[in-house]
Amino acid sequence: MIEVEATPLEGLLRIRPKVFADARGEFLETFNARTFAERTGVITTFVQDNQSRSMAGVLRGLHLQAPPFAQAKLVRVVAGAVLDVCVDLRPGSATFGQHYSLRLNATGQEMLYIPEGMAHGFLALEDNTVFVYKCTAYYEPKAERCVRWNDPDLGIDWGVRDPLVSEKDQAGSSFVSRLWMQ
């Protein structure tokens, strides 16, 4: 069983799975297609799972893939903690240009369902943070887009001044240029 909560961004969902805990430890079902569809109204097929491990202060994002290779994602943290950020880049969306952030950690087991057309990134808050996510489309390098994590037009408060960011992410396009749509 899962609890589903809408966020201020259209289609972005917070998901809390039922965790069964006792003296031995805990168990949870991380994904069940039938339950997911019943509780979210979203029928989806995930085709790829990804995992990253990051040290505290590493910022990854803001990433998305352009159509026809757009991906929806189901993200969670299995060790450590992150500040997770999503930006709505769907033209015509009522929440276009807005962002939402949420702290995700291994203890809480909370997940985010990120629909196609949203840029996504996270800041690792602890050493050896392990972040996993399911994707609805395969990674396609030519469709990859990146919006600058520190774009002043988005005004995202990451809570850090000098995160460790890859060269690729540092060179991301501005929100205003809308290069991510091409």
pLDDT tens profile 78-107: 999 999 999 999 988 999 999 999 999 999
In 3-state terms the chain splits into helix, strand, coil percentages (rounded to 5) of 10, 45, 45
Closest to 76 (Cα-Cα) out of 40, 113, 47: 113
The whole-number pLDDT of residue 177 equals 61
Provide the annotated active-site residues.
Answer: 63, 133
Tracing tokens 């990804």 back to the chain, one arrives at 50
Taking the model in full, what pTM does it have? 0.93
At residue 181, does pLDDT exceed 60? no
The C-alpha angle with vertex 9 and arms to 69 and 3, in degrees rounded to 5, equals 95
Average pLDDT, the chain: 94
pLDDT tens profile 41-71: 999 999 999 999 999 999 999 999 999 999 9
Rounded-to-integer distance, Cα 78 and Cα 167, Å? 26
pLDDT tens profile 136-148: 999 999 999 999 9
Domains of the chain, by residue range, sit at 7-12+45-171
Share of the chain above pLDDT 90, in %: 90
In the chain, what is the straight-line distance between the N-terminal and C-terminal CA atoms, in Å?
39
Tracing tokens 């039938």 back to the chain, one arrives at 34
Strand (E) or helix (H) holding 36: helix 33-40
Query: Is 2.60.120.10 the CATH classification of the domain at 7-12+45-171?
Result: yes
